[in-house]
Amino acid sequence: MLKRSDDKYLRNCSRVEPIDESNNYDDDDDDDERSDEVNRFPDRNSGWHMDKLEELRNTASGSSDDEQEPRSIRYVQETLERIDENRLVYRAEGNANIVLSLSDNKHVLRMRKSTVENREGKVDTNVDLRRFVKYSQVIASQFSACYVPTPKLAHMNTCNLQAFNERLRCFRPVMRLEKEIRELDGILYPDVAFLPKWLYPARLRSLSQVSKISPLTHNYQTYCVEIKPKQGWLGKPVRVLQAVKGLIGAPQNNFKILKNGKIVYDEKHEKSVFTRILREMFPRDGRTKDERNTIFMNLIKEILLKDFNTNDEHSDRKLINIRKDRKKKDKNQLHERACTPANHQFLPKSCALRQILDVQLLVKSTIPRIEPSKLAKSSLDPFSYIDDMYEKYAACKENEVVYDAHSDTTWPTFDIAYLSEEEKYQLGATALDCSIMITFRRLSGDRVEEDSLNEAARNHIVTIEGMKFLVNVTITDLDPKSHKHYVKYVEQIAASAEAYREFISKLRR
């Protein structure tokens, strides 16, 4: 059954337009206007706030007569964009999706997969794309706008889908070949493996010039590091360094390096490849392998903790070294450290890592209050909760209630007090499995190049060991989870607790 927001939403999605090459990036003026809107906090009456809170918490499927009446709600216009198969190049894939990059180096198309045996054109476990776009608006409201790209619905034009799948096979991992693309609709994103156009010097902002960027012109390549941030990153900055070091040594599916849009290091590569990449990243500087490793890890740490609202390009960051402590750990101290709650208040409130962790912690805070029976009711339609969440989000947006009155954070956010415990859990579950894309390019040291950067771009400069890097951070993989996530997560917690008890008991023998 369609909800009151769906009718207008589907009409908006029915438009078919080509990609607008001239509007892929916001102008500086647009950013300033959006910034002004953010600073205008809505006037809220406390009594109305409590009434509205209770009303939205009780929102179900819109079954009452009042709920069926159409309302005027401001929607983000969505258009279906058509993309020819010849413009698509294989980039990467996970368990549920294949990522294809467009030949213009400005977009990626994420297509859903299904098992090869199931060629009916339907995917059993993935969320409907229209719901996905709705959910993306809700989850994006929990982060600063600069971190979350806006997804668009897209359609791939092909006369023979099976032939297209065959063309991709030679680029895909053997272990992933049991699934293939069976639907032509997908989600279009900006290609965050490259820096956005507005971060380039003014003289290089035309589309033709940006597309011709070469190492001869700029001396340094564009790199993008993809990581999966876990709650274990809480604590002191050195723990961030230790986490990055652990990912480098055992990337699995949690650490990748891209160079000019191509994957050059992941779990399939030898460690020697990573060493060679660092030599290319920091060429002819006379540093040892260990020194390059330390600089790289500190650079990633600084970007993760960067507040992009401030300009600290002249603040040369000092390196933090991870000491190799070969002494035997005291067993009691080991247990005490493991059981002591980590304090993440050192994290700048506007940095990407802090914002992700704040959403991830919704899982921990809601688990004791979740009613599993409510989650079980959604087994027939695992993503039906998105409709209710979007209804509440749209209603609050209609009344300009887009800030959490009880939060001390500084970024715009949909007031999660309007959500049920189960809905809050779903937001946290999404954040647990998200990715951070860290894109950077070393500046050549040319004063003319630096002077041509606009004021907003200067906020994206990180200086470390005398080297300046132009950096950007994007939060991706913000996919909704089904009701099964709760069951699996609780089982994982129980298994982890049991493994920890066994480990401690062996230490004490």
Yes or no: say if 280 and 220 are a contact pair by the CB < 8 Å rule: no
Structure confidence by residue, pLDDT tens digits, 159-216: 999 999 999 999 999 999 999 999 999 999 999 999 998 888 765 555 444 444 444 4
**Phi and psi, residue 9, nearest 5°:** -60, -45
Structure confidence by residue, pLDDT tens digits, 349-388: 889 998 999 999 999 999 999 887 777 776 678 898 999 9
State the pairing for strand pair 461-464/435-442: unpaired
Q: Please, which residues bridge with residue 395 across strands?
A: none
Q: What phi-psi label fits residue 206: left (phi over 0), alpha (psi between -120 and 50 degrees) or beta?
A: beta
Q: For residue 125, what pLDDT is reported? A: 53
Nearest 5°: the CA angle 41, 43, 46 is: 125
Enclosing H/E stretch for 336: helix 331-339
Sign of CA dihedral 324, 326, 327, 329: positive
SS3 of 246-279 = HHHHCCCCCEEEEECCEEEECCCCCHHHHHHHHH
3-class DSSP assignment, residue 312:
coil
Q: For residue 429, what pLDDT is reported? A: 95
Q: Six-digit token pair at 252?
A: 């699995």
**pTM exceeds 0.85:** no
Length of the chain: 509
Domain ranges, ordered by start, for the chain: 197-346+434-476
Report the C-alpha gap between 480 and 427 in whole angstroms: 8
The dihedral over CA atoms of 99, 230, 418, 35, expressed in degrees to the nearest 10, equals -70
Contacts of 71 (CB under 8 A, 6+ apart): 4, 398
Enclosing H/E stretch for 180: strand 179-190
Contacts of 220 (CB under 8 A, 6+ apart): 441, 442, 443, 444
- Residue 180: half-sphere exposure toward Cβ, Cα within 13 Å: 21
Report the C-alpha gap between 235 and 244 in whole angstroms: 14
Could you say which residues of the chain have pLDDT below 50?
Answer: 1-46, 48-49, 59-77, 121, 123, 207-217, 326-327, 404-410, 412
Q: For residue 3, what pLDDT is reported? A: 46
Chain centroid to CA 261: 17
Contacts of 445 (CB under 8 A, 6+ apart): 468
Yes or no: say if 275 and 291 are a contact pair by the CB < 8 Å rule: no
Chain centroid to CA 15: 27
Contacts of 426 (CB under 8 A, 6+ apart): 385, 389, 480, 481, 485
Q: Six-digit token pair at 58?
A: 């009780």
Give the full edge-to-edge strand order of the sheet including 316-317: 262-265, 255-259, 222-227, 435-442, 467-476, 461-464, 316-317
Report the C-alpha gap between 195 and 462 in whole angstroms: 14
Q: For residue 168, what pLDDT is reported? A: 96
Quickly tell me which residue has 């297209």 as its tokens: 164
Nearest 5°: the CA angle 471, 147, 21 is: 85
Q: Please report the DSSP string for 22-70 in residue order.
A: GGSS--HHHHHHHHHHHTSPPP--HHHHHHHHHHHHT--S--SHHHHS-
